[in-house]
Chain A
Amino acid sequence: MIRSLRNRLLVGGLATTLVVFGAAGAGLYALLRGALIGEFDATLDAQAMALASMVERSRDGFHFDADANPFATADHDARPDYFLITDASGNPIAASPSLRTRPWPMNPAAAGSARPAHAFVEMPGDRRGRTVRFTFTPRSEDDAPATPSATAPIAVARDATALRHRLNHLAWIVAGVFAAAIALSGAGAALVVHRGLRPLGTLADRIRDLGAADLSERVELRGAPSEMIPIVTRLNVLLGDLESTLARERAFTADVAHELRTPLAGLLATLQVTRSRRREPAEYQTALQRCQTIAEAMIGMVETLLLLARADAHQLAPQTTRLDLAVAAGAAWANHAPDADARDIDARLDLPANAAVRTDPKLLDLLLRNLMDNAVTYCDPGGRITLVVTTADDGARFSIANTGSAIDAADVPRVTDRFWRFDAARGAAGHHGLGLALCRRLADVLAIAMTIRSERGGQFVVELAFARDE
C-alpha cells in the first residue's frame, strides 16, 4: 500500500498511460502491418492470376503458353521469384526458371482451394518469401468438360525481404513514437500531480503553522482545493469552538481570581488599616464585624464553587426519595421569609399539599433556597415574590417570581452563566453571580426542567418542572 497520495497518483497515472499507449501502439502496428502485407499480397495475387491465365486446357492436357509470359521481360521487382503450376496429380505444368536448379519447398497441390491462401515461407537461399496458393480451372480451347481433374493448383512466391524490412522499420517507429509518448505523458502526469497537489501541501503547511498558543488563528480557505473545503471549514469550526471554550475557561478563572482576591484584599486592608494605630474598642468591633462579613461571603462562594465543581465532575449522586414539593418549598421559604420581611417584600405563597415528586431532598432544598435567595436579593424593596406549586398529569411544577427585575429578555440566557450578575447588583454582599449557575447545574443533576423568563413589568420568573412520580 502506497501511503503517499502523490506516489499513488503517479504510479496509477503511469500504469494507465503504459497500458493505453501500449495497446494503442500495438493496435496501430497491427493495422499498418495488415495494410502493407495486404498490398504485397494483392500484387502477388495479380501475378498469380496472370500466370494462371497463361495455362490452357485441352482434351490432351494442359498447355502453358510460355511466350505469353508477361514476366519474362519484366524487371526483377515486378516479377515473381518462383512459380509452379501442376496438374491435379502434382505433375508440373510450368515452373519458373529459378526452379530448374533449386527444388521447390512446397507443393502447390496442398492448397486445394480456389480461395488464395497466403503465407510466409522459407525460400531457397535462406531467404524469406511470401507465397500465394490456390487451385484454378484453366480456360479450355475445345470445350473440354470441367471435371475435378481439369483443375490445376498454382503456387507463386516472391522475395519478401523488403517487406520484412519495412515491417521491422515500422515496428521500431511505432515503438519509438509510443515510448516517447509514454515518457512525455509520465513527465506530464508527474508535473500535473505535483502542481495539482501543491494546494494540498500549502494547506498542510498552513495547518502545521497554526500556533498552539494562539487559537484565534484560522486556516485560510483561499486557494484551497474544493475537495478540502469541507475539511478546512470543519477544522475552523472546531478551532472556533476550542477557542471559545478556552476563552470561557480563562474568563472563569479570571472571575474566580477576582472574586476570591477582592474580598481577600478587603480582609487584608481592613486588618492592616485597623492595626495601623490604637483605636477605640467600638472601631475594633466594626472592623471585626466587617472581616466576619467578608469571611462568610467567601465561605459561601467557595462552597458554591465546590458544589459546582462536584456537579461538573459528576460527583453529586442524587439519593432520590418521594416527597411533597409544597412541604419542601414551604420549609425552604421559612429561611428567607425574615429577609423578605426586612425588605418589605409582599410574599404570596400558593402551596397546596400533596404535590408528590421523587427527587433528592437535600439537593432540592439547596436548589429552592438558592432560587429564593436570588428572588429576595433582586426583588425591589416593597415588591412582590410569588411562590406557586401546581400538579398536573405530566407532573408537579414549582414557580418563583419576583418583581423589580431590570434584566433584559436578551440577557436571560446568560443569567445562569457563572459570575454573571446584573450590573446594578454587582458587589452586593454575599452575591457572586453563582446562584443561578448552581441552580442550573442542580436542576440538571436532578433531571428537573428549569425555565427562566423575564416578563414585561419587571417580573423575573423561574419555573421547575418535575417528571411525574410513577
Chain B
Amino acid sequence: MRVLVIEDNQLLREAVCQGLREAGFAVDSASDGKTGLWHARSAPYDVIVLDLMLPGLDGMSVLRELRTAKVATHVLILTARDTPPDRIAGLDAGADDYLVKPFDFGELLARVRALVRREYRSKNPSIVIADLEIDTAARSVRRAGNAIPLTPREYALLEFLAARRGTVVTRTDIWDHVYELNSDAGSNVVDVFIGHLRRKIDAHGCPPLIHTRRGHGYVLGTEP
C-alpha cells in the first residue's frame, strides 16, 4: 500500500515516513503543497497524509484541487489546528479523516490502515482466503494455523493482492501501490518478490494460492 506524506516540518516528515515504511507502506513525501499536489496527481496512492499549514499552496487548497481533479484518494489531515470549525472545514473539503498534532504514532498507523481498508471496501481487518488468514491490524499471516513470518515488503505485497483477491493484479498496479517513487527496485523486482512470497505462502505442500496469469499479472485465491 502506497502512502504520500505532505508535511513541511522536516523532522516530523522524516519520522512519519520512517514509521510508515517500517509498517510496510511504500511512502513518498513532499515538503510543500505544490510538490505534494504534483505527486498526488501523478501516482495512484492509497492514502495521503496532508498537513494544512504548508508553504506555497496550503493543505486545504491541495485537498480542494485534488477533489476538483476527481482524485478520490483517501486523505488524512494531520494538523495542529484543533478547533471544531477547522475539523469541519477539513472534512467538508473532502478529507476522510482528521488527526491533530501531536498524535500517537500507533493511532496514525491505525487510521491509515482503516483508510486502506476503506479503499478496498472492507471493514473487517482480517482477510481469510481458504486456509490463509491475514490480520491487517496485527500485520500477521497464518496458513493452516501456522504463523508465517514475512518482511514488511512481502507483507505489503500480500496485503495488496489479498485486498484485490480473485481479480488479476498487473505488475504496474503492484509497482504503483507497493513501491516508492524513488525506489531503486528494477523492473523484475515484482516477480522476485512474488517468488519470495510464494515460497513462504504456498510451501509445505499447501495448495497454491498465488497464481500467474501470463501476460497479465497475478491472482490471489483458490484455483479458479
Please report A residues at the B interface, Cβ cutoff 8 Å: 254, 257-270, 272-273, 276-277, 290, 293-294, 421, 423-424, 426-427, 429
Contact = CB atoms under 8 A, between A and B. Distances in A.
Interface stretch (B89-97, B103-111, B123-131, B141-149): B103-111
B22 interface: yes
Nearest to B51: A262
B22 A427 contact: no
9 contacts: A262-B80, A262-B101, A265-B101, A265-B103, A269-B102, A269-B105, A277-B22, A423-B32, A427-B31
Considering residues A272, A273, A277, A294, which has the most beta carbons from chain B within 10 angstroms of its beta carbon? A273
A423 B56 contact: yes
Contacts of A265: 9, 12, 78, 80, 101-103
Considering residues B9, B51, B106, which has the most beta carbons from chain A within 10 angstroms of its beta carbon? B9
A272 B9 contact: no
B166 interface: no
Interface of B: 8-12, 14-16, 18-19, 22, 31-32, 51, 53, 55-56, 78-82, 100-106, 108
B73 to A, nearest CB: 22
Contacts of B51: 262
Nearest to A290: B11
B11 to A, nearest CB: 4
A259 B16 CA distance: 17
B105 A423 contact: no
A16 to B, nearest CB: 57
Given A273-B22, A290-B15, 20 more contacts: A258-B80, A261-B101, A262-B9, A264-B102, A265-B12, A265-B78, A268-B102, A269-B102, A269-B103, A269-B105, A270-B11, A272-B105, A273-B19, A277-B22, A290-B14, A421-B55, A423-B55, A424-B55, A427-B9, A429-B10
A272 B104 contact: yes
Given A261-B80, A265-B102, A273 B12 contact: no
A254 B11 contact: no
Contacts of A270: 11, 15
Given A265-B103, A268-B103, A426-B55, A257 B9 contact: no
Contacts of B55: 421, 423-424, 426-427
A277 B19 CA distance: 10
B9 A269 contact: no
Contacts of A259: 80
A258 B12 CA distance: 13
A124 B10 CA distance: 127
Given A258-B53, A272-B104, A424-B55, A266 B22 contact: no
Nearest to B82: A257
A269 B56 CA distance: 25
A421 B56 CA distance: 11
Contacts of B32: 423, 426
Contacts of A262: 9, 12, 51, 80, 101
Contacts of B16: 269, 273
A49 B81 CA distance: 113
A266 B81 contact: no
Contacts of B19: 269, 272-273, 276
Considering residues A262, A270, A421, A424, which has the most beta carbons from chain B within 10 angstroms of its beta carbon? A262
B104 A426 contact: no
B22 A276 contact: yes
A254 B82 CA distance: 9
A426 B7 CA distance: 11
Nearest to B13: A266
Nearest to A260: B80
Contact of A427 (B8, B81, B101, B102): B8
Contacts of A267: 102
Nearest to A428: B10
Nearest to B20: A273
A268 B105 CA distance: 8
Contact of A426 (B8, B78, B103, B108): B8
A260 B82 CA distance: 13
Contacts of A427: 8-10, 31, 55
